[in-house]
């Protein structure tokens, strides 16, 4: 919010922006990098706790080489077309050719481990999920907790939070199979994952 206000105050034209060669722009980039590092540490902490529980319950050690970590909604400096650019991905992730990623469906539908194809026309990007067809407000207005409970009958989740979770109902998202078909030139599906349990913070 702070950097948005600064950009609106200093920016020129219809799209508020900050010049990275100014103190304000450098501060925005530094804070963005700090937030990305914090988010990575948070994901790693959650994964470590989840793996401890799973390893204990299943009696099997996790394979550390199978970790797939994908961040989204970030800014990174990358080379594209022989130029060094700042790339902002919103609703997308960057995957190099051969790099593994995860494209989630919804709480009640499949998600996929994918391999990036490194398509240069898409700046080596792909979607970071199925994508919404209903806004959160529309989902809350249209989807009843009983309908969510029915569609998630085979998934473990906190049923006491059903009223709050309707905004994440499968009906609020695009069909993940269609999404993968639409971006077949961006990623190759490797593994289909079906949800068994959902933890929504």
* Beta-bridge partners for 170: none
Residues 6+ apart with CB under 8 A from 45: none
Residues designated as active site? 128
Burial 97-112 (b: 16+ CB within 10 A, else e): eebbbbbbbbbbbbbb
Sign of the torsion formed by the C-alpha atoms of 41, 46, 47 and 48: positive
């Amino acid at each position: 919010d702070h950097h948005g206000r600064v950009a609106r105050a200093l920016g020129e034209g219809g799209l508020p922006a900050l010049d990275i060669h100014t103190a304000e722009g450098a501060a925005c980039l530094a804070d963005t990098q700090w937030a990305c590092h914090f988010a990575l540490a948070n994901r790693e902490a959650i994964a470590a706790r989840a793996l401890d529980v799973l390893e204990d319950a299943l009696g099997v050690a996790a394979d550390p080489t199978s970790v797939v970590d994908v961040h989204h909604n970030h800014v990174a400096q990358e080379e594209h077309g022989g130029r060094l650019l700042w790339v902002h991905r919103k609703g997308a992730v960057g995957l190099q050719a051969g790099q593994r990623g995860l494209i989630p469906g919804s709480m009640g539908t499949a998600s996929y481990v994918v391999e990036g194809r490194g398509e240069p026309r898409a700046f080596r990007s792909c979607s970071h999920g199925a994508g919404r067809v209903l806004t959160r407000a529309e989902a809350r207005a249209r989807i009843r907790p009983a309908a969510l409970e029915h569609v998630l009958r085979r998934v473990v989740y906190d049923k006491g939070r059903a009223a709050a979770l309707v905004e994440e109902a499968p009906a609020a998202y695009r069909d993940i199979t269609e999404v993968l078909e639409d971006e077949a030139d961006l990623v190759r599906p490797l593994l289909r994952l079906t949800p068994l349990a959902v933890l929504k913070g």
